[in-house]
Structure 1
Amino acid sequence: MNSSKTRMIFEAAIDIFCERGFEKATMDDIATKANVAKGTIYYHFKSKEELFVFLVEEGTNLLREHVLERLSDQMTPTDKIRAIIHEQLTFFKDYRDLCIIILREAWGEEQRQLQFRRMLVHYVRAIEEIVISGIQTGEFAEIDSQTAAWSIFGGLSITALNHLYADPSFNLPMLAPSFEQMLFHGLTGRHEPIDE
């Protein structure tokens, strides 16, 4: 974000979109919350949709930076996936309202869905590369790496969203051990394939 006014608009938009949803939020509401003239918002954003897309894009960039910068080349693929689980849950806890907006609103109309998936692709691709690395080293089973990456992101996201709605004060990183257990050992806890 390149200015303090943009930051104020961004933070006000998070509050208003989270509280009222995309459809009921107005630029007037956001301007009042940000303590700026409505014209100031329109100077930076042509429409409510453009502001919303900016908010989602900034949010996904924050997520990517927050999680991936915690990874190091010294970590094994398993360690990296564990770190992703913990850091994504931590991000959702620290940016609760932003995450609710992204996960609740971004799956609305078709155009918004496409934009959202494009924004997330770099983050999910980074997870996929770790899965591929784990397959190559023999740490992970031969699985579809893209499905695994989206499942990790999606499973964490929906689980977090459920808890954020049920109890906003819930400490999301506490879910990490259960999620790791299910991811690395499955529901059965067996290490051999399940007969079909």
Structure 2
Amino acid sequence: MRHGEPALAGRLLGSTDCDVLPAGVRACRSAAAGLAFSRVIASDLRRSADCAAAIAADKDVALRLDSRWRELDFGRWDGRSPEDVDATALRGFWDDPDGASPPGGERWSTLLARVAQALEEVEDASLIVTHAGAMRAALVAACGFDRRQSWAFDLPYACVLSLRLWRGEAPTAQILALRP
């Protein structure tokens, strides 16, 4: 699940730790109401952690925070509006986030590696509350999509992406649902 709408929506929110709007928490709680899960795992950034805490309390299940589920760190661009970032540099990043990572920021391959590692440890029947970038990295790691293909998915705030994972020598996954 992607976290609810943050107080600083519309900005490049990577490691910026901002609050989630009350309506964003409500949207996540509503989206989780019909789901079956036995634990909640979340990014330790407040916009995910606060939504996850509310969901875990509603379902009376354990919550574990895991920083590997954080959003891509946008470095010196973090917390800024895209309009306040050099347009050519930003376009270069979107075209090649490994070769043109944000100044002082994280490379796409680093995000992908940490999310793939976290995904390997996810137990069945887990709800993960995270960020759009981490969700896209999970699609690449689990389903074998390339980075560009992962951008074909619209991942609005409080959306739920359900995956069935098969582990082993040739791990794979199946997308069961994507609900806005």
Q: TM-score range by the shorter chain?
A: under 0.3
Higher helix share: 1
Higher strand share: 2
TM-score, normalisation: structure 1: 0.26
